[in-house]
Homo-oligomer: A and B are copies of this chain.
Amino acid sequence: MYGYNGKIAVVDLTTRTIQEKPLTPEEAQKFIGGSGLGAYYLVSHFRRYSKGTAIDPYSPENPLIVTIGPYTDTPVPCSGRHAVVTLSPLTGIFAESDIGGSWGVAFKRSGYDGLIITGCADSPVYILVDEGQVSIHDATQYWGKDTFETYEDLKKATGGEVTCIGPGGERLVRYASIMSDGKDARAAGRCGVGAVMGSKKLKAIVAKGNKRTSVWNKQNLVELVKSLIPQIRQGNAGMTRYGTSGGVLTHESYGNFPLQNWRLGRWPEGVEKISGQRMEQTILVGRYYCHGCVIGCGRKIQIREGKYKGVEGAGPEYETLGCLGGMCLIDDLEAIAYANELCNRYGIDTISTGNAIAFAMEAFEKGLINEHDTGGVKLTWGNAEAMVEMVRQIGERVGFGKVLGEGVRKAAESIGGLAMEFAHHVKGLEFPAHDPRAFNGVALAYATSNRGACHLQAFTHPFERVVKIPELGYEEPHNRLAVEGKGEFVAKLQNLMSMVDSLKICKFVFNGGIQVSHLTAWLNSITGWSMSPEEFMETGERLFTLKRMFNVRYCGVSRKDDTLPPRSLTHKRIGEGVTVNLPPLGRMLSDYYEYRGWDEMGIPTKEKLETLGIADLF
């Protein structure tokens, strides 16, 4: 089967047994790969092992599913990515976490399209996937090591590419990440997939092999792709120069950058000190690329003197600057860079970590917690040392880090009182660094994303301000404050991004004007299929709906959960350039369900599931 290895490895860590099962052409066409295929395996697994309700995310029954896609290891640019799918210990619902770097390609060359890992090992192990052979090995000597050390040591020991957890995952921080590529850090950051790995006592997965992916018409693919690379590069020139952090100044200027736990309107004097532009002038020493990338948004930094001397490797991204910086009103770039490195080494999500600390700062300000609770740490706004100390406590799951490591939803529940008023999450997942009041599409996307508050599952914000996608009917960006038509717009982009997360390609290609027909043509060149752009989009709809149905059936999700925290719906932020906007979520949700053909309560109808060919799964 072109574009695929055609098989999956199923690993049971309890019994230490390995099985293989085929990936059929029908399954590949229906569920593509990446998070779509992962969702299909998750649903299939739950059909067999659950009694209609969610199982404990930390139980042996919860599968950790790792998948690549048909684009992986092909000439398609920016396709060095893989997906992790599981039931999230942070949200209790569907989890998918997308990650770049080199591991996905190494895994595809090992001869598989995916791994389904169940059970729990009785002592630390790592899995080695070596060109058609899967084996389980003792990892006692790596347990306790951070992700940079683990990467280096295991790479040296095995000669393979390593994706692994750090102390955060081992200790079940609910938003622990899985990390790849060592100091050129790449993270499956969201939803706590690293904690599920930790609960299985699985320290790492190593992939190696030389099996090259077969492409149906490679020459055609290369030609299709080649002509587009210049425009992908050009559309991402700022990304190449400043990384994602180049967006800080712009996004702050109109109210998209998060400030003081989503309270403040503007903070120009602060963000000026933590922007990508400032980084370029100070600690930046280079950039790094995921496999096959033509952009290179990764920042290489080095801090040569001062308190944080010795920090070296990946610099903070836009999201990290937003969550550890703006959210905490911290304008100390080096402190953020250090905290970022700590997060990477511990293997914890910088987005959730920053949100948790900003949440705690507000609780501290309001007197809901005090120094007695925090072990003497003064959690005041702008206190960089306190932020760094909290990152440490969360990463090691000690002190007040035990509370914050549960995520803001559970932390707010345990603190009680007014804390629920400023715990920013949807369905348990903390907000990324995009304010839903700045984009009505982001508001609706946060409310309806299958993994909770997520800017990537719909990725609307570029398409609401700068990027056009005429093939979906948007000759111009969809006005970010528009209400009319926003339901359809968000649904279409969710369907598209469901494909992107399954093919496995970086969403930054859209900055270069990539359209649905390009993605479809590439896929057909790889697989030999003759999918139309309409079928491509319908497949995306199938994948998105499949995940929704998992949440509906096993996690009790419905319309009542498709909401935003009260501050996002009622609190006006004031500042020059910030348009006051409170997203009218109810109206947009109504339009959205209607467009999707779901019922009033946000449940896909039987007819819709039949049209999409997934009725038999539910």
Contacts and interface: CB of A to CB of B under 8 A. Distances in A.
Interface of A: 263, 416-418, 420-422, 556, 558-560, 563, 566-567, 569-572, 582-587, 589-590, 593, 600-601, 603
Contact of A559 (B563, B570, B582): B570
15 contacts: A416-B556, A418-B603, A421-B559, A422-B601, A563-B566, A566-B586, A569-B585, A569-B589, A570-B600, A572-B590, A582-B584, A582-B586, A582-B587, A584-B586, A584-B587
A600 B572 CA distance: 9
A51 to B, nearest CB: 14
A581 to B, nearest CB: 9
A583 B582 CA distance: 13
A593 B566 contact: no
Contacts of A571: 590, 600
A563 B587 CA distance: 15
Contacts of A603: 418
A590 to B, nearest CB: 4
Contact of A558 (B418, B583, B585, B601): B418
Contacts of A585: 569, 586
B582 A570 contact: no
A557 to B, nearest CB: 10
B593 A570 contact: yes
B582 A569 contact: no
A422 B556 CA distance: 14
Contacts of A586: 566, 569-570, 582-585
Nearest 6 pairs of A and B residues by beta carbon: A569-B586, A584-B584, A570-B590, A421-B601, A582-B586, A582-B587
B421 A560 contact: yes
Dominant SS among interface residues on chain A: helix
A416 B563 CA distance: 19
Contacts of A420: 558, 560
Given A566-B601, A582-B586, 16 more contacts: A418-B558, A418-B601, A421-B559, A421-B601, A559-B566, A560-B566, A566-B586, A567-B600, A569-B585, A569-B586, A570-B587, A570-B590, A570-B593, A582-B587, A582-B590, A585-B586
Contacts of A567: 600
Contacts of A583: 586
Contacts of A569: 585-586, 589
A570 B418 CA distance: 27
A447 to B, nearest CB: 11
B570 A589 contact: yes
A155 B590 CA distance: 55
A398 to B, nearest CB: 30
A416 B603 CA distance: 16
Nearest to A421: B601
Contacts of A417: 556
Contacts of A570: 559, 586-587, 589-590, 593, 600
Nearest to A556: B417
Nearest to A420: B560
A505 to B, nearest CB: 34
A590 B589 CA distance: 20
A41 to B, nearest CB: 26
A590 B558 CA distance: 26
Nearest to A437: B586
A484 to B, nearest CB: 13
A598 to B, nearest CB: 11
Nearest to A587: B582
Contacts of A593: 570
A409 to B, nearest CB: 13
Contacts of A559: 421, 566, 570
Contacts of A422: 601
A389 to B, nearest CB: 28
Contacts of A601: 418, 421-422, 566
Nearest to A562: B566
Nearest to A600: B571
A191 to B, nearest CB: 24
A258 B29 CA distance: 48
Nearest to A569: B586
A416 B590 CA distance: 23
A420 B420 CA distance: 20
Contacts of A589: 569-570
A73 B593 CA distance: 56
A556 B421 CA distance: 11
Contacts of A582: 584, 586-587, 590
B558 A421 contact: yes
Contacts of A263: 600
A417 B583 CA distance: 28
Nearest to A567: B600
A420 B558 CA distance: 9
A558 to B, nearest CB: 6
Nearest to A581: B587
A587 B567 CA distance: 11
